Amino acid sequence: GGKDAINTTIINFNNEKMQVTWATRELFPNENVSFFYTFDEGKHKVWKPCTTYLLDQDYNSGCLFKTEGPTLAISIRNSNRSEELFSRKLKSDFYIKPNRPENVTFFWKEDTVTVSCNKPERAARCLRLELQYKSKFDKEWQSRTSTCCSVGEQGFDPRKCYSFRVRLRRIVPNCNVVNYSSDWEAETFWMNGTLLDSCDEDITSQTNTVIVLSCSLAVLLMMLILLILLCKWQRVQMSVLPAIPDPKYLFADLFNDHNGNLEEWLDKNDHVVLQTKPEYEEPESITEAESQQEDGKNSEKQEPLEKIFTFSGAAENNDSKAAENACLIPASNTMASFAGFHILRNDDMYVML
């Protein structure tokens, strides 16, 4: 219940501005108190009224004013300023909250990253640079702290995307009585030394890569299936519809050498035609030929021989013209004469001279 028992929150923003706040609804219900401060030391202090109040439901709950020295004295009074409700004297330097680090740079070398920032003009020895990072697979931040104003860490996977953030911290209790740190610098995203807008880009790029690879494999698989089907279709087509040989290859000389003249080609290729006669005969044809030969032998035995040669004395005196006529091929079933001989022939008979 004394004047020094009131809890207050004091912040010295980078030794530039002071902020003093109190719980007005719990400490001073239904009363709008007044705040005074001074940086003067000694008996003759000049108290300054607060010009910038912080409000809580229209009640004064704090004051914001300029930092003017290392020693601060504050006084909270009732609404008509006649009674002092709370007073305190303190060292403003022990409540410093530093500003955000300025000009933060990242230096990558293989799996090691070094983060640095500008060195503050005041009390840099009381500051520590804190680095926090996590990958998209981590749930919590990993933290590293070093003297101002550079911190390094190694072991980063170049295949992962990392989020980084940095801030400055005051050393406790050598420099501060309260563990104050600066606000976090804007979060940045890095992957293998490359700055990204967010780690979602990494996920999107990996997704696109997977889609491209999947489509490529699908296309290759379809081409393989079509090739197999084509080979099988050719086999089925050859078995169902066998290929008809092209006669132009068998009779190439007919068209190339004789210009399609069949008679000329036959005259010069009689031996070829004879050689191309099939040597194989059906058993039925062979059987019929053997039966005909047997019938012929039997008929020769049973029937009397006919006299087919007739000699005439007059024929011996014929001239050479008769001999030439005899050389001609006789008609079927006709009588042929040669040198006075008369020969009877039919369709199945050949005469060799």
d(CA 330, CA 353): 13
Structure tokens at 319: 């001239």
Q: pLDDT class for 202, splitting at 50, 70, 90?
A: low
The per-residue b/e assignment along 305-331, b for 16 or more CB within 10 angstroms, e otherwise, is: eeeeeeeeeeeeeeeeeeeeebeeebe
Query: pLDDT value at position 293?
Result: 57
Average pLDDT, the chain: 76
- The yes-or-no verdict on residue 346 having pLDDT over 70 is no
d(CA 14, CA 19): 11
Q: pLDDT class for 184, splitting at 50, 70, 90?
A: very high
- The yes-or-no verdict on residue 176 having pLDDT over 80 is yes
Rounded mean pLDDT of 42-71?
A: 90
List of residues 6+ apart from 241 with CB closer than 8 A = none
The per-residue b/e assignment along 67-83, b for 16 or more CB within 10 angstroms, e otherwise, is: beeeebbbbbbeeeeee
- The yes-or-no verdict on residue 72 having pLDDT over 60 is yes
Kindly state the percentage of the chain with pLDDT values over 90.
35
Handedness of CA 229, 232, 238, 239 (dihedral sign): negative
Rounded mean pLDDT of 127-138?
A: 91
Do the beta carbons of residue 50 and residue 76 sit within 8 Å?
no
Closest CA to 70 of 4, 122, 127: 122
Q: pLDDT class for 246, splitting at 50, 70, 90?
A: low
State which amino acid sits at residue 244: I
Full set of structural domains in the chain with CATH: 8-97 (2.60.40.10), 105-196 (2.60.40.10)
Do the beta carbons of residue 154 and residue 142 sit within 8 Å?
no
More confident residue, 100 or 306: 100
More confident residue, 200 or 70: 70
Per-residue pLDDT of 273-329, as tens digits, reads 545 544 444 444 444 545 555 555 555 544 444 444 344 444 444 444 444 444 444
Query: pLDDT value at position 6?
Result: 77
Rounded mean pLDDT of 104-113?
A: 91
More confident residue, 175 or 269: 175
More confident residue, 70 or 346: 70
- The yes-or-no verdict on residue 154 having pLDDT over 80 is yes
Rounded mean pLDDT of 190-214?
A: 74
Neighbours of 278 (CB within 10 A): 6
Closest CA to 160 of 102, 111, 122, 87: 111
List of residues 6+ apart from 40 with CB closer than 8 A = 46, 69, 73
Closest CA to 20 of 29, 11, 7: 11
Neighbours of 297 (CB within 10 A): 10
Query: pLDDT value at position 206?
Result: 52
Do the beta carbons of residue 282 and residue 314 sit within 8 Å?
no
List of residues 6+ apart from 56 with CB closer than 8 A = 24, 25
Do the beta carbons of residue 97 and residue 181 sit within 8 Å?
yes
List of residues 6+ apart from 308 with CB closer than 8 A = 342, 343, 344
